[in-house]
Amino acid sequence: MLDVIVCGSLHLDIVVKAPALPRADETAVGHAWQEVCGGKGGNQAVQAARAGARAAMVGRIGRDNFGRTLLDNLGASGVDASGIGVDGVLGSGMSVAILQDDGEYGAVIVSGANTAIDPAGLADVWGRLGGARVVVLQNEVPHAVNVAMAALARAAGAAVVLNAAPARDLRDDLLPLVDVLVVNRVEASALGGAPVDDRATARTVLPRLRRDVGAVIITLGGEGLVIADKDGTVTEIAAVPVRVTSTHGAGDCFVGVLAAQLADGIALDAACRFANARAAAFVSRDA
């Protein structure tokens, strides 16, 4: 049995460094660019493996150079990629991200083959991988994929972590299968029905977010995070002070490390504190 299976998205990110995001009709001038292997699923699987977990990735790529690059990156990071299918029609997922000089960023994704993951084939993949203690899901793949994978995990006694990003309706067929829901302030605002800017406002949306799920974590960047455990106990964790180089991928670092900790039997509060520290090191590029 594996420690962590991540089922989700794989994108090859083209990251452009520029002073600021362009306004409408503006052509902004950047000063550097690079290819970065990403997709929330791929990022989280890599971070789980780097945190010591025996991790596997389940997803789909195109039959193209982007796909080969993504597979090579997973293999080099110690992630089992045998659960990744290859699409003969759709290209691999990709994104274009603009990284501002202050470390903030914006991105546009093209999902491609990520939209063609077959929910009906996941049981076979689960069996071949041998299952896992923790399954991680995100919202960059179809809802039906998340439901099918969560059902397999629940039936096998695995914990399900849903990183509900990007935000979309949390449907009743998925919620009861989720043990830990992870959202940032933008997703918490959209799903909770009220603005979330800090730990105080995060507390106000916890009751709505906790409906039918085991526990909720709201990550707030420099404001730290707020946790409501399965019993409803609320804990606030302050951010670790660091000099921020880039926030790109910080949330995925947190989720991947959290999954590795939970798979190792670490309690939610302690797992969050450790993942919070690792994410702080990541944004300062000391990781």
Please state whether beta strands 225-228 and 215-219 pair in parallel, antiparallel, or not at all (unpaired): antiparallel
2-9+40-62+117-283 topology per CATH:
UDP-N-acetylmuramoyl-L-alanine:D-glutamate ligase (3.40.1190)
Nearest to 252 by CA among 159, 177, 179, 184: 184
| H-helix or E-strand spanning residue 5 | strand 2-7
Q: Which residues contact 26 (CB under 8 A, 6 or more apart)?
A: none
Q: Please write the tens of the pLDDT for every residue from 147-183.
A: 999 999 999 999 999 999 999 988 899 999 999 999 9
Task: Read off φ and ψ for residue 189, nearest 5 degrees.
Answer: -65, -45
At 162, list the tokens: 């849903």
287 — pLDDT class (breaks 50, 70, 90): very low
Residues 69-92: what's their mean pLDDT? Answer: 97
Evaluate if residue 186 carries a pLDDT over 80: yes
Q: What share of the chain is helix, strand, coil (3-state, %, to 5)?
A: 40, 30, 35
Q: What is the largest CA-CA distance in the chain?
A: 52
Domain range summary for the chain, segments of one domain joined by + = 2-9+40-62+117-283
At 163, list the tokens: 């990183």
At 213, list the tokens: 């799920």
Q: Please write the tens of the pLDDT for every residue from 87-113.
A: 999 999 998 989 888 878 788 889 999
The amino acid that residue 7 corresponds to is C
Evaluate if residue 219 carries a pLDDT over 90: yes
Q: Which residues contact 267 (CB under 8 A, 6 or more apart)?
A: none
* Catalytic entry in 179, 252, 269, 286: 252
Nearest to 222 by CA among 280, 163, 281, 285: 280
Q: Does residue 252 have an active-site annotation?
A: yes
Evaluate if residue 286 carries a pLDDT over 60: no
Look at residue 87 in the predicted model and tell me its pLDDT. Answer: 97
In angstroms, the CA 211 to CA 87 distance is 36
In angstroms, the CA 182 to CA 202 distance is 12
Look at residue 240 in the predicted model and tell me its pLDDT. Answer: 86
The interaxial angle of helices 40-50 and 65-76, nearest 10 deg, is 20
| pTM of the model as a whole | 0.92
- Of 55 and 28, the structure prediction assigns the larger pLDDT to 55
The amino acid that residue 183 corresponds to is V
Quick count: other Cβ atoms within 10 Å of Cβ 250? Answer: 21
Evaluate if residue 43 carries a pLDDT over 50: yes
